[in-house]
Amino acid sequence: MQPSAVANTINLTASPSQFYSWQNYRCAYEVHQPIDTTHEGVPLLLIHPIGVGLSRQFWQRFCRQWYDAGQRNPIYNSDLLGCGESDMPHVAYTPDNWAEQLQYFLQTVVRKPVIIVVQGALLPVAVQLVQKESNLIAGLVLSGPPAWALMTNKSPEWRRKVLWNLFDSPFGSAFYRYARTPKFLRSFSTRQLFASDNSVDAEWLNTLVAGAENLASRHAVFSFLAGFWRQDYTSYIASIGQPTLAVVGETASSISQDNRKETPDERLAHYLACLPQGRGIKINGRNVLPYESTAEFVAAIATFINELS
């Protein structure tokens, strides 16, 4: 599909970029609606992953497929601070920062309960958001949640500071310039994200290159790499009273440096043992299921979301 065709398809279902102000920062979002029909059901709030060039654009393929499959839920797709079209202040971001941003977004823009769909290691943001604004969250979908050890073992504070200071230096700027090249992005995506090399397509790479063009986008990425999200969330996860669906890829892998490999079945079992109202499913794919296995991912979560709607 040519880029122009992609853009035309997206414009049929998405509003132009809209903005709101949070703590004097400009934050971007878009609203998706079904074509030629009324929207219905609980809205979805999408939380995109953090990485080189990643932003709310990660979800465009999912949004198209959602409506192609006949679903009618409105979709709120927001750029987290430091990403996409939102402001990119030079700060060390934490999941709590982004949760506060989304809490304000729910309170002032959406103003009704939503179902959170969160990708990968941004799960801590969703977990924190539930703690802050439980009444506006009707349920959660965890797409490719991290290995259980990553969600339950806090990284040492000194290590986070050392890594942040290393990245927040001329070395970090030089590394980011290399990391945003198509060569690096293709290699990383093949090694860490996708089940099939063929899935790392031009649409994916072009989106990442464009998203990383602003060098200030490195601050959010380096905050993630420094491990500011690495805490013990066991008690928070155990307190989530909303229905929660965990979707794990058949070939899911981990970014953990732990030599012990966790199987997809073990990962699901850990989450379901902790979540009061959890259920789980495995589908084809590895770590970026809404992009690499879009139709199957939509089919896997549609029943769950329709039940809540």
Please give the mean pLDDT across all residues of the chain. 92
Which residues lie closer than 8 Å to 268 by C-beta, 6 or more apart? 246, 248, 280, 282
Nearest to 119 by CA among 50, 180, 66: 50
pLDDT of 76 over the 80 cut: yes
Alpha carbon distance 129, 116 (integer Å): 10
**Number of C-alpha atoms within 13 angstroms, CB side, residue 93?**
29
What is the domain class of 3-308 according to CATH?
A: alpha beta
pLDDT-derived band of residue 255, with 50, 70 and 90 as boundaries?
low
Whether residue 30 is predicted with pLDDT greater than 80 in this model: the reply is yes
Q: Is the pLDDT of residue 269 over 70?
A: yes
Q: Residue 38 burial by CB count (10 A; 0-12/13-18/19+): exposed, middle or buried?
A: exposed
Q: How confident is the model at residue 278 (pLDDT cuts 50, 70, 90)?
A: very high
Tokens of 190: 């093949």
Token output for 300: 């896997």
Looking at residue 253, its pLDDT comes to 87
| 132-158: pLDDT as tens digits | 999 999 999 999 999 999 999 999 999
Return d(Cα 65, Cα 297) in angstroms, integer.
10
| Gyration radius of the chain's alpha carbons | 18
pLDDT for residue 175 is more than 90: yes
The arithmetic mean of pLDDT across residues 22-31, rounded, is 97
